[in-house]
Structure 1
Amino acid sequence: MADTAVKICGLQSVEVVKSLLHLPIEMIGLVFAKSRRQIAPGTAAQIVKVLQDEAAAGKPVPKSVGVFVNPSLEELELVLREAALDVVQLHGQESPEFCRSVKERFPVRIMKAMSVKDGESRDTSRCLNSYQGFIDALLVDAYDPVYGGGSGTSFDWSALAPYQEWTKKSGIPLLVAGGLHEHNVQHLIASYHPDGVDVSSGVEREGIKDINKITAFVERVKGI
């Protein structure tokens, strides 16, 4: 379990980020897409500055991940000019060509999210192969009819098989999101062995990030 990466998504304040830095968290997600967790580039810049200062002091810090849904290159440029994110997470219907353009234009890694709709049948391998070489990580999330993902609901984890096969073949990590919380994440890890897990609403209390829930989630993932 200790090798499973943790991404805490939907962080909105410098204070909350500072409160998490003692935990073994590999990534923090900052949402720029339309959402109740959406933050402004200026706030993201403040958070990134905190991470940079900690790193300069020799401390381990999580990577900053900006979450976008069907952005334009111009939108990405505006954000990245202000906040030097480590990773851009594309959580919409972004094409392989768009992912390639982002990689060529900006000094960031690309995490592509794909949504699983229970009962849906599609040629997963063919779809994934079109992204070969253009993405650095794959995130599998439950389908949401409005935003495509980020619904806070789970999906049938047995559907992960073709995604796992492809990411292993491609040498990139697979992260799983969708309805995760401290009570089910150990089952996911023990049964399906993803490279990482992504949580947002599962570590909130009344819509606000809760440090106790985050700590419990991290402890379950890391086995500490």
Structure 2
Amino acid sequence: MSKTAVKICGLQSVEVLKSMINLPVDYIGFVFAKSRRQVTSKQAAELSGVLKQWKSEEIPRSVGVFVNPSLKELGEVLQSVELDVVQLHGQESPQFCREVKESFPVSIFKAVSIQAGRPPEEHVNELMLYSGCIDGLLLDTYDPVYGGGSGKTFAWDIIPIYRDWARAQGFPLFVAGGLEPSNLDRLLALYDPDGVDVSSGVESAPGVKDIEKVIAFVERVKL
């Protein structure tokens, strides 16, 4: 089985999540930021409860996706929902990431938006400030409205620079942005990310997860 981790993001339906309980999924993402896939704390608590019924060897880790939250906002969510990971998808500073780690018993994934024309070496130098503050790095395609979640790919040839830096820091690199079963083979074969993150690529309509597409995606990675 592939060592590459699978993260299915933007779950809203208890029924769809229950239909996934035999799949080898590593992370399930709940979006608390403004989005077509946004959930309330009450919805997320119900969804996270489903994870305890998982049939695969390990229960997926629950991930809360936030954009520029306050510590107060995170605290209110975490009082209601057991999250394993907080994914910060905005312009959160290294200091803020450190405060989150010190305040709550969660891992921190920092998402960064990849913009065309920006030298990756320059970007990685800036990311050095996050060393010791985060537990995972996620690359996503820049979207001017939501920051990420565009459903579009970025130029994958820059991945190795970020991947090698993340591994040198001792944490995984996830790739998001426009992933779907049809382009996974190329990504995995050529760029070897530690994890892949999908949302719109396994939907039948905006925000509506399609279990057949989810199965196809997971099988492409894991089998």
CA contact under 8 A between 1:128 and 1:166: conserved in structure 2? no
Quote the residue 1:33 is aligned against: 33
Q: Would you say the 8 A contact 2:24–2:56 is kept in 1?
A: no
Letter in 2 for 1:204: E
> What is the 5 A alignment of 1:55-66?
60-66=58-64
C-alpha distance in 2 between matches for 1:141 and 1:216: 21
SS at match of 1:147: coil
> How high is the TM-score relative to the length of structure 2?
0.95
Structure 1 partner of 2:155: 156
Identity %: 58
Q: Structure 1: where are the runs of 5+ without partners?
A: none
Counterpart of 1:14 in structure 2: which amino acid?
Answer: V
Compute the displacement of 1:148 (Å): 1.3
Counterpart selection for 1:102 from 100, 103, 107 = 100
TM-superposition CA deviations, 1:22-51 (whole Å, max 9, x none): 101000110000001000000111112222
Q: Distance in 2 between the 1:199 and 1:58 partners? A: 19
TM-score normalised by the chain length of structure 1: 0.95
Corresponding letter in the other structure for 1:82: S
Trace 1:84-103 onto structure 2 (pairs within 5 A): 84-103=82-101
Contact 2:23–2:56 (8 Å) recurs in 1:
no
- Structure 2 gaps, min length 5: none
Paired residue secondary structure (1:184): helix
CA RMSD of aligned residues (A): 1.5
Aligned twin of 2:13? 13
Answer whether contact 2:28 2:60 (CA < 8 A) is retained: yes
Is 1:219 aligned to 2:223, yes or no? no
Match for residue 22 of structure 2? 22
Cα distance in 2 for residues equivalent to 1:213 and 1:110 = 28
**Partner of 1:81 in structure 2?**
79
1:59 deviates by: 5.6
Residue in 2 aligned with 1:210? 210
Which aligned runs of 4 or more in structure 1 are off by greater than 2 angstroms? 57-60
Aligned pairs (5 A) from 1:39-54: 39-52=39-52, 54=53
Does the CA contact (< 8 Å) of 2:22 and 2:56 recur in 1?
Answer: no
> Matched residue pairs, number?
221
Number of the residue aligned with 1:191: 190
CA contact (8 A) 1:124 1:162 kept: no
